[in-house]
Amino acid sequence: MRQVAKWALDMAARRGASYAGARIVAQRSRALATKNGKVGSASDAESVGMSVRVIADGAWGFAASAELDRGSVEATAAHAVEIARASARVKQHDVRLAPEKAVVAEWATPYRIDPFSVSVDENIALLLKIDAELRSVAGITLAETNLNFNREEQWFLSSEGADIHQTKLSTGAGYAAYAFAGNEIQKRSYPNSYGGQWQNKGYELIDELKLVENARRIAEEAVALHGADQCPEGKFDLILDSSQLGLQIHESIGHPIELDRVLGMEANFAGTSFLTLDKLRTLRYGSDLVNVVADARQEHGPGLGTFGFDDEGVPAQCTPIITSGLFTGYLSSRETAHTIGENRSGGTLRAEGWNRLPMIRMTNISLLPAEKPLSLEQLIAATDHGILMQTNRSWSIDDKRYNFQFGCEIGWEIKNGKRARMVKNPSYSGITTEFWNSLDAICSRDEWTLWGTPNCGKGQPQQVMGTGHGAAPARFRGIKVGSAYKSG
């Protein structure tokens, strides 16, 4: 594969590119799903191809092809240079890349059990066992389960001398139980909604998740929601479980700190950001307890944003994003680093596959846990009157990332430190910085989970990327609850 990359780099140089980076990527995936006692889908897929990203005449060009013979690769590289020259017809100034030491390196996701080595028989038996548990509860009208495995091997070579071979592996699993009755559909999911939990690790994740053990409880909760009271409307102290808080971080911190959004590069699709450059190191993003990092390093954990090097050869890093409540960092790339006065990229440029342009993506954007021990049960016990919300059901935020509204699958009204009653259709809304400034308690490390979001969409053409979000349950004071169901 290195030879393929070299053909591309040589041709790009011959056509006059001042910079070229070639990626050859081989992806393999397996998706298994069941629905109501039957296998719903069973598929394997592989995709192999190469792309070359070049600068010529001070502008970008990118071309990709699945054909890996020398003639096709060279034609693709030449096309990338032709495209760059067309880009140069509409430019304000030349592209400027922050310097980066070219490295020769190997990196691979650590894992114990290769998920592709586990028989499909065994996987389907597991899913059908979960399905049977879910549907053994009277009132469950639909049960869905899924297992997903992905392997991505990439060779990145650049005209600056980088030569990086990297292999990433990810595993995902989850299930949902639906109960339809009267005029209402209620749903519970485990370990998270929309595909469950995903991490960059092997099949060992499946055992850790205790999928079967939780199935009956989840199904019983879905049915019980029909008999629960509607979540009250008003201002409440709000406790979010760690999975919902992970999504809250994703939407109201992870996206606004993407420097390409801030600079207007995503204005036509994903939107811009309220975090204009003047807010760096001046904005009080959250309360003093809020410490958030963007950490792609393996030592942060096996998140979907964990890697050795990003897709322009920059090593994984940890960037402080919010430090004791103060906004301290953006997600940057070699092209954008200079706009915030940095002389090095933050290492966040990633592409969905061989045929997509790398762009700034969240790595693992995590809220650090409290150092003082605090469990969720202790946090509930310390709350006079509030609502605990668990597991996301709907999410929406404006295109500058100010106003958000989230719905959750299940809520609990807390009175005098105890879960007084289950409530259905819980939702909350707010303004990003007001919300994070209302945080007054975070649970400690033993309640902290590094969640995987496998479906983050961005870019044109749209790319889907996996991101990681570490969070422990936390409490927010005086939050607007229930407005989603308020009529007019």
Task: Please give the residues from 102 up to 141 whose contact with other proteins meets the rule CB under 8 A.
Answer: 119-121, 124, 128, 141
268 binding other proteins? (CB under 8 A): yes
Q: Which residues pair with 450 in a beta bridge?
A: 470
Closer residue to other proteins, CB minimum distance, 117 or 416: 117
Rounded to whole angstroms, how far apart are CA atoms 458 and 379?
36
478 binding other proteins? (CB under 8 A): no
Using CA atoms, how far residue 76 sits from 19, 53, 59, 84, 380, in Å, is 15, 10, 17, 12, 59
Candidates 3-11, 86-94, 206-214, 382-390: pick the segment binding other proteins (CB under 8 A): 86-94
> At closest approach, how far in Å is the CB of 187 from other proteins?
8
> At closest approach, how far in Å is the CB of 418 from other proteins?
28
33 binding other proteins? (CB under 8 A): yes
Closer residue to other proteins, CB minimum distance, 65 or 148: 65
455 binding other proteins? (CB under 8 A): no
Rounded to whole angstroms, how far apart are CA atoms 60 and 56?
7
> At closest approach, how far in Å is the CB of 299 from other proteins?
33
> At closest approach, how far in Å is the CB of 205 from other proteins?
22
463 binding other proteins? (CB under 8 A): no
List of residues 6+ apart from 460 with CB closer than 8 A: 268, 269
Rounded to whole angstroms, how far apart are CA atoms 102 and 164?
9
Closer residue to other proteins, CB minimum distance, 260 or 447: 260
Give the number of other Cβ atoms within 10 Å of residue 26's Cβ: 17
Contact in structure between 252 and 401 (CB atoms under 8 Å): yes
Candidates 38-46, 107-115, 340-348, 371-379: pick the segment binding other proteins (CB under 8 A): 38-46
Assess whether the previous peptide bond of 461 is cis (omega < 30° from 0). yes
48 binding other proteins? (CB under 8 A): yes
> Which one of residues 6, 13, 18, 35 is an interface residue with other proteins (CB under 8 A)?
35
> At closest approach, how far in Å is the CB of 80 from other proteins?
8
Closer residue to other proteins, CB minimum distance, 178 or 327: 178
Contact in structure between 478 and 237 (CB atoms under 8 Å): yes
User: What b/e string do you get for 410-434 counting C-beta neighbours within 10 Å, with b at 16 or more?
Assistant: bbbbbeebeeeebbbbbbbbbbbbe
273 binding other proteins? (CB under 8 A): no
Within positions 215 to 244, which residues make up the interface with other proteins, using CB under 8 A?
A: none
Candidates 35-43, 104-112, 131-139, 283-291: pick the segment binding other proteins (CB under 8 A): 35-43
> Which one of residues 135, 344, 400, 477 is an interface residue with other proteins (CB under 8 A)?
400
Closer residue to other proteins, CB minimum distance, 27 or 366: 27
User: What b/e string do you get for 318-355 counting C-beta neighbours within 10 Å, with b at 16 or more?
Assistant: bbbbbbebbbbbbbbbbbbbeebebeebbbbbbbbbbb
